[in-house]
Amino acid sequence: MKLKCLEHVPTVISSCTEVATIRQTDTIVRGKAKSRIYTALVHEVSKGIHIRVIIGKMDTGKHHFLSVMYHNNNSRRNSKLKSTSKGAL
């Protein structure tokens, strides 16, 4: 299911319309305390289908892609309806 979302990641990152959540945590890496920021970006890739991309950033480092998923149950339901109609015999 998540592999279907993977093709939309560049689109969501480049044209994000909504930041769903921002979480900040403190972790210990190699004996040093580091702060890590997780950001959830949400974008509607097609009518009724919203994709959420989770990005993490350690201190002042680069952003790293962590996860991709459907944003809500309606997005999952809409994608299933569209995918089954394409593959129906």
| Confidence at residue 75, expressed as pLDDT on a 0 to 100 scale | 58
- The Cα 43–Cα 82 span in angstroms is 18
Q: Is the pLDDT score of 9 beyond 60? A: yes
Q: At 89, is the pLDDT very low, low, confident or very high (cuts 50, 70, 90)?
A: very low
Average confidence (pLDDT) over 57-69: 86
The neighbouring-strand residues paired with 21 are 40
Whose tokens are 């950033």? That residue is 57
Q: At 80, is the pLDDT very low, low, confident or very high (cuts 50, 70, 90)?
A: low
- The Cα 14–Cα 74 span in angstroms is 23
Total number of domains in the chain: 1
31: left (phi over 0), alpha (psi -120 to 50) or beta: left
- Minimum mean pLDDT among 28-32, 64-68, 72-76: which range? 72-76
Question: Which tops the pLDDT comparison, 2 or 48?
Answer: 48
Question: What would the two tokens of residue 22 be?
Answer: 């921002």
Range of the domain at 42: 2-87
